[in-house]
Structure 1
Amino acid sequence: MVDTRPLGRQPGSSRTVSRAVSAPGSFATGMSGVPEGAEIDLDLRLEAVMEGVLVTGTATATATGECSRCLDPVSEPVEAGFQELFRYPSDDDLGPADPVDQDDEDEDYYLEGESIDLEQVVRDAVVLALPLSPLCRDDCPGLCVECGVKLADAEPGHGHGDGVDPRWEALRQLGEEPGDR
């Protein structure tokens, strides 16, 4: 939660906030993520506008996971930018909602008293910034498809037989000259 009282609901006023927070839960995709409890550094600029408070910021964390080619552990920094308007609750918001406007209101964020809850905004930004296929290095050769050994650790020329798939043998024989058999 970020306190907005120093802005005083005066459009045009602004302030910057920097803080480190712990990830409230795992922010993850299939192969990488920011584990629960990991430190996330937030650099925020809060600006009071007529409708509410505009929050612009970056979240910086360390993502961990496994290489998508060789499955070795990977750790890399992730930086995610975001900008979101947190609206002031109005008296109109207290009555029954118009069904047409209900969908639009679900996408809006609102101040909770004089505080802003950034958890969902930060979660969305960080998860979108995570690598979908992390690599331990750009030229990672991966694993051998036959035996599963790491190709980076295998001897030069690592291979298995002639490499012809036995399912294609009958087709290969059709292409041979009658006297070649």
Structure 2
Amino acid sequence: MATLNSAHAKHKSRSPLVFDISRLGRRPGAMLELHETVPSPSRIGLDLIAIERGADLTLDLRLESVSEGVLVTGTVYAPTRGECSRCLTEVTGDVEISLTELFAYPDSATESTTEEDEVGHVIDQTIDLEQSIVDAVGLALPFAPVCSDDCPGLCPQCGVSLSAEPDHQHDVIDPRFAKLAGMFPAEDPDAPEPGAGTS
């Protein structure tokens, strides 16, 4: 079983996730292994958490020639970075996704009977894994990441991190009396008491 080299080794302008499969051939059952670490060509993920552009993508994949195309199976691992959805502090971690993706051969029945975005395509003896990884990572990452399950978030009144200041609090006036409190002048500690100075 041979090991596949990435197409970007020969074509530096290509995405690092485009791979030359010419050595695989179209004989069903032929197989190649892909074990490589490449830089992420773009930020991959969600608004609050993602694989950063340039981060290492560790690919552990098997490419198998089947009658309709190239079947890619295996895993992709990468570090992630983002911010906690509750307190906005930095969150780091990792994500591992499983890929099972068919790339249809040109002029195959699969290519002619499916929509363009339903399956990948073999183009000029290459396959591009980027969109498959983008889709899988988007499903694997949490929509609202947190720094810890019990993160208390931010103070709704002043924005202070409640995990950094666990005793943080504000004196709260009952809203029913807040307007009344504003109708009376604040007491002046230097003012004479009522009746003082009179005989």
In the other structure, the counterpart of 1:34 is 51
> Deviations along 1:71-98, whole A, 9 cap, x unmatched?
11111101111211111102889xxx8x
3-state DSSP of counterpart to 2:23: helix
In the other structure, the counterpart of 2:27 is 10
State the Cα distance separating 1:104 from its structure 2 match. 2.3
Take 2:51 and 2:29, find their aligned partners in 1: how far apart are those partners? Answer: 35
3-state DSSP of counterpart to 1:7: coil
- 2:135 matches 1:118: no
Q: TM-score, normalised by structure 2?
A: 0.72
3-state DSSP of counterpart to 1:40: strand
Task: Report 1:12-161 matches (<5 A).
Answer: 12-90=29-107, 104-156=115-167, 158-161=168-171
Q: State the one-letter code of the partner of 1:12.
A: G
State the Cα distance separating 1:7 from its structure 2 match. 2.5
State the Cα distance separating 1:145 from its structure 2 match. 1.1
- Give yes or no for contact 2:45–2:134 (8 Å, CA) kept in 1: no
Cα distance change, pair 164–85 in 1 and its aligned pair in 2 (3 A): same
Take 1:18 and 1:165, find their aligned partners in 2: how far apart are those partners? Answer: 63
Cα distance change, pair 147–83 in 1 and its aligned pair in 2 (3 A): same
State the Cα distance separating 1:121 from its structure 2 match. 1.1
Take 1:7 and 1:113, find their aligned partners in 2: how far apart are those partners? Answer: 13
3-state DSSP of counterpart to 1:125: helix
- Give yes or no for contact 1:59–1:126 (8 Å, CA) kept in 2: no
Q: TM-score, normalised by structure 1?
A: 0.78
- Identity of aligned pairs, percent? 44
**CA-based RMSD:** 2.7
Q: State the one-letter code of the partner of 2:125.
A: E
Take 1:161 and 1:45, find their aligned partners in 2: how far apart are those partners? Answer: 62
Greater C-alpha radius of gyration: 2
3-state DSSP of counterpart to 2:131: helix
Question: Structure 1: any 5+ residue segments left out of the alignment?
Answer: 171-181
State the Cα distance separating 1:9 from its structure 2 match. 1.4
Question: Structure 2: any 5+ residue segments left out of the alignment?
Answer: 1-17, 181-199
In the other structure, the counterpart of 2:174 is 164
Cα distance change, pair 30–163 in 1 and its aligned pair in 2 (3 A): farther
Q: State the one-letter code of the partner of 2:152.
A: P
State the Cα distance separating 1:57 from its structure 2 match. 2.2
Count of aligned positions:
163
